[in-house]
Structure 1
Amino acid sequence: MYGIIPEFKQYLKGKDSSLRTIEAYLADLKKFIKWYQETAGELPETASVGPLDIAEFKRHLQNRGYKPAAVI
């Protein structure tokens, strides 16, 4: 899954995203990977991450004080 970080960065650059946007998206992706690893005990596989994983991660962020509008 960590291999996806450089690929995602290139994708965002190709879409002409701002540096600030790229940094924010990559930070969120790293938070998700860390959370998943701590929760599941293993690194996530891109193909196995589903809507339930995303919903649980969003709930985790909200429980940590993130505003609902910031957790899209």
Structure 2
Amino acid sequence: MATSPVPIEVGPMDQSRFERIEALVDTGATYTVVPRDVLERLGITPQFRRRFRVADGRVVELDMAWAVVKVEGE
């Protein structure tokens, strides 16, 4: 799977504001991970939790929220 850093914009579902950050895009990923401090500044709060099995076999439970992610303005 290819990865490369690109600028993205992240915002709440109402699209009232966005913050531009550098993200490592993984073409094989299903979810987007955004630093908590960025989400807090945007007023995006955890809405549910989900369990994931990570590379070393452990199962971790992470906070999840809906957000809008724009790449190249779209």
Q: Same fold (TM over 0.5)?
A: no
- Structure with bigger strand share is 2
**TM-score relative to the length of structure 1:** 0.22
- Structure with higher RCO (Cα < 8 A, 6+ apart): 2
Higher helix share: 1
Normalising by structure 2, report the TM-score. Answer: 0.22
